[in-house]
A and B are shown apart, each in its own frame.
Chain A
Amino acid sequence: MTARAADGVGLQSRAGDTFEGPRRSAVVTLSLAVAIVLADSAIVTLALPSILRDFDVEVSTVAWVLIAFNLVLALAAVPAARLCIRGNARGAAVIGLVVFAAASAACALAPSFGVLLAARIVQALGGALVIAACLELLVVTVGSQTRGAGLWASAGVAGTAIGPVAGGLLTDAISWQSIFIVQVPLVLLALPAVLATGRGSQKREHSVDRPHLAANLALALISAALTAALFLLVLLLVEGWRQSPAIAALTVCVIPVAALLAAPLARRVAAGSQAEAIAGSILLAGGLAGLALLPDAALAWTVAPQALIGFGLGLTVDSLTQVALRERLPQTLHGGWTIAARHAGVVAGLAILTPVFTADLKAAEQPAREAIAAQVLDSRLPASSKLALAHGLADQLVAQRGRVPDLSQAFEDAALPAAQQPQAARLELALDDQLERATTRAFRDAFVIAAAIALLAVVPAALIRPASEVQA
């Protein structure tokens, strides 16, 4: 089945729709539900260090809080979409919203890491139903497949981009548990809109288009690379550079801001989905390569690479999603395929990159220890003070079990005389500098691999036929 212009509304109108009254409220709450579910893919990224400490688990283990959600969402997205098409989208949305809200509450109250993981899996199952059903219901609400899909895709991009920032701010202001508590009433806001909407698209008997392979593959590769940008950058900022989650959240704000700026820019340039996807992939790859080349541990150096990543995100995900849905029926099923592709990409990204950077972090321990030992031995402190510090530093390195240590405790414990404090302060700065160098370097390979993955997305992006050819 080909070229079925469902409603004649152009893609260009995707973000500029205006609705009134209950319809507007329904559009807002349904979009919010989609954004929240997709934000959950990465919302806990900035909370991972806190979760890691609370449950006393390793970095590679805590990554499963992200992996479990994304894996289940990837696996459940298409079946959930089929359920919505065959059954009724409204019922699926109600069940999805309630399950997602209940599982979010369970995440917040989880007494152990195992319970948290189980709750995340249930959350993803509910989330898959919400996403699939909301696409169907948004189309019904706005009365246009193209506009409904555009709103759905934009909500997804906004959620993905803003998620980590919101999570970081909540973690810093309250706790990581608050991330999940806040989601409960927010997703349930969509319930009245869902109940007020019709059952969804009428059950239609028509053949099913094949998924858009190139667009979905590009989405998967982009998502895998984007995971690196969010997950690795946040870990670098919080664990490597010892920034608070709030500072890290404000720092990574650059990505959503740039992503939001990219949409109007793309409309103005009107270069077409193919060009947008290619340019976006190049920008994303460039931004990740920039993060692999940080010349200092100053937050300012992350701004330009993040801006490239944000522009890349804004140009690719939205346009690729629209391409994947364009002229393909049933649209909800193809929406499910895009979600499956994106989240499979996230899982693949985490599966590839987590072992790389954890191994690099471990390999960085010995050079860091030697650099620290050299700084202490060569410092101008009296030998007895060096010894006291060396004891404390060794304790810190052992206590952190492979994580980046906080050396300030060793200096506090050494309680050096006032006359030695200026020299000790200089030494502490030098040691922190060495640690920052070691951790920044340890993330380098992972960023380079992520950049290569993003660059790979250029290939399927180039295979996308421009819209003009599709219409012809």
Chain B
Amino acid sequence: MNARRAIALPLGAVVLVAAVLALMFAAGGDDYRPSPPRDPCQQRESGKVAPDIEAIAERVVLTGTDELACELGITRERLLLGLASPADRRQLAADASIDQSGLARLLKRSLIQGVTRLDRASALPKTSALKEQIADELDVPGIAKTAIRNTPDAVVDDLLPTAGVLRRSIDEIDVQTLLRDLQSADALESQLRDAIRAGAMEEARAQLLDKLPGPLQDIL
């Protein structure tokens, strides 16, 4: 009787432990870990970007960094966090067997590829959808703002194809200097975004004002 109890108690303990562990496993205890960042080589959401210059620039930066991260075989988050630190930047470049200026060139090329990817997915809004914002934000006299607002959509879209404007804006960015002067991880995304936005606005200003009637151009 006592011997049976001496065996039953440890056996009962084993059964109890097995039941609890089975419950924990069944509830997903083995998978409770931070969500792994997405594979940058996989296409993310392909919804249309909101007709807002800041939102477009942000999507371009994120898609472009996805392109570069995919090429380097790391996550987008690791790339964005790593580009901000000189030591991590050197490591990233070394891992890719290139120097830091090569890394900057790769980043610029990836941003342009990002624009192409978004353009092919028809995710970029037409520039005519941004007419109001462009008119509001351009530092030009009120009469010119009115003229921009009244320019036919077809003319605006013909003059300023979104993807083209973005590509040319990216071309103008000195990525190497930007990377060198970077102060923090979150600054990279914002500085690239601001640079793209500034480039796009400058081109909009030049192209649209150039098409205004001659007398109006003289006045301005």
A463 at the A/B interface (Cβ < 8 Å)? no
Q: Do A275 and B6 form a contact, CB below 8 Å, given A370-B77, A373-B77?
A: yes
Task: Please measure, in the bound complex, the distance between the C-alpha atom of A441 and the C-alpha atom of B81, giving whole angstroms.
Answer: 22
Neighbouring B residues of A293 by C-beta, 8 Å:
21, 24-25, 29-30
B6 pairs with A371, CB closer than 8 A: no
Contact of A290 among B24, B28, B32, B62 (CB under 8 A): B24
A276 at the A/B interface (Cβ < 8 Å)? yes
A377 pairs with B77, CB closer than 8 A: yes
Q: Which of A's residues lie within 8 Å of B, judged by CB?
A: 269-272, 274-276, 278-280, 282-283, 285-287, 289-290, 293-296, 301, 304-305, 308, 311, 364, 367-371, 373-374, 377, 382-384, 387, 390-391, 394, 434, 437-438, 440-441, 466, 468
- Chain A min CB distance to B100 (Å): 22
- Chain B min CB distance to A362 (Å): 14
B120 at the A/B interface (Cβ < 8 Å)? no
Interface of B is mostly: helix
B13 pairs with A383, CB closer than 8 A: no
B87 at the A/B interface (Cβ < 8 Å)? no
Interface of A is mostly: helix
B5 pairs with A441, CB closer than 8 A: no
B20 pairs with A308, CB closer than 8 A: yes
Q: Which residues of B from 3 to 33 have beta carbons under 8 Å from A?
A: 5-10, 12-14, 16-18, 20-21, 23-25, 27-33
- Chain B min CB distance to A376 (Å): 9
B17 pairs with A391, CB closer than 8 A: no
B77 pairs with A374, CB closer than 8 A: yes
Neighbouring A residues of B108 by C-beta, 8 Å:
none
Chain B interface category by residue count = 35 or more
Q: Do A383 and B186 form a contact, CB below 8 Å, given A377-B77, A437-B32, A438-B34?
A: no
Residue in chain B with minimal CB distance to A430: B35
Contact of B20 among A290, A370, A387, A468 (CB under 8 A): A290
Q: Please give me the 6 A-B residue pairs with the lowest Cβ-Cβ distance, nearest first.
A: A286-B17, A293-B29, A390-B186, A295-B27, A293-B24, A279-B13
A382 pairs with B13, CB closer than 8 A: no
A276 pairs with B23, CB closer than 8 A: no
A and B contact pairs by CB, cutoff 8 A, 17 listed: A269-B9, A272-B5, A282-B14, A285-B17, A286-B13, A296-B27, A304-B20, A367-B36, A370-B78, A377-B76, A377-B189, A383-B55, A384-B54, A390-B186, A391-B184, A394-B184, A438-B33
Residue in chain B with minimal CB distance to A286: B17
- Chain B min CB distance to A330 (Å): 30
- Chain B min CB distance to A423 (Å): 14
Task: Please measure, in the bound complex, the distance between the C-alpha atom of A305 and the C-alpha atom of B33, giving whole angstroms.
Answer: 19
A275 pairs with B17, CB closer than 8 A: no
Task: Please measure, in the bound complex, the distance between the C-alpha atom of A387 and the C-alpha atom of B7, giving whole angstroms.
Answer: 63
Given A272-B2, A278-B10, A374-B38, 6 other A-B residues pairs in contact with their CB atoms under 8 A: A271-B5, A272-B5, A286-B18, A305-B24, A391-B184, A394-B185
Contact of B80 among A368, A373, A468 (CB under 8 A): A373
B37 at the A/B interface (Cβ < 8 Å)? yes
Task: Please measure, in the bound complex, the distance between the C-alpha atom of A65 and the C-alpha atom of B193, giving whole angstroms.
Answer: 50
A437 pairs with B35, CB closer than 8 A: yes
Most B Cβ at <10 Å: residue of A271, A369, A382, A468: A271
B24 pairs with A295, CB closer than 8 A: yes
Most A Cβ at <10 Å: residue of B12, B21, B36, B55: B21
Neighbouring A residues of B55 by C-beta, 8 Å:
382-383
Task: Please measure, in the bound complex, the distance between the C-alpha atom of A436 and the C-alpha atom of B76, giving whole angstroms.
Answer: 22
Neighbouring A residues of B28 by C-beta, 8 Å:
295-296
B13 pairs with A441, CB closer than 8 A: no
B29 pairs with A294, CB closer than 8 A: yes
Residue in chain B with minimal CB distance to A303: B20
Contact of B54 among A276, A282, A301, A383 (CB under 8 A): A383
A394 pairs with B34, CB closer than 8 A: no
Task: Please measure, in the bound complex, the distance between the C-alpha atom of A441 and the C-alpha atom of B32, giving whole angstroms.
Answer: 7
Residue in chain A with minimal CB distance to B186: A390
B75 at the A/B interface (Cβ < 8 Å)? yes
B67 at the A/B interface (Cβ < 8 Å)? no
Neighbouring B residues of A278 by C-beta, 8 Å:
9-10, 13
Neighbouring B residues of A377 by C-beta, 8 Å:
62, 76-77, 80, 189
Neighbouring A residues of B12 by C-beta, 8 Å:
279
Contact of A441 among B7, B34, B54, B77 (CB under 8 A): B34
B2 pairs with A468, CB closer than 8 A: yes
Residue in chain B with minimal CB distance to A364: B34
Q: Do A371 and B37 form a contact, CB below 8 Å, given A279-B13, A286-B13?
A: yes
Most A Cβ at <10 Å: residue of B7, B12, B31: B12
- Chain A min CB distance to B116 (Å): 21
Task: Please measure, in the bound complex, the distance between the C-alpha atom of A293 and the C-alpha atom of B27, giving whole angstroms.
Answer: 9
Task: Please measure, in the bound complex, the distance between the C-alpha atom of A301 and the C-alpha atom of B14, giving whole angstroms.
Answer: 20
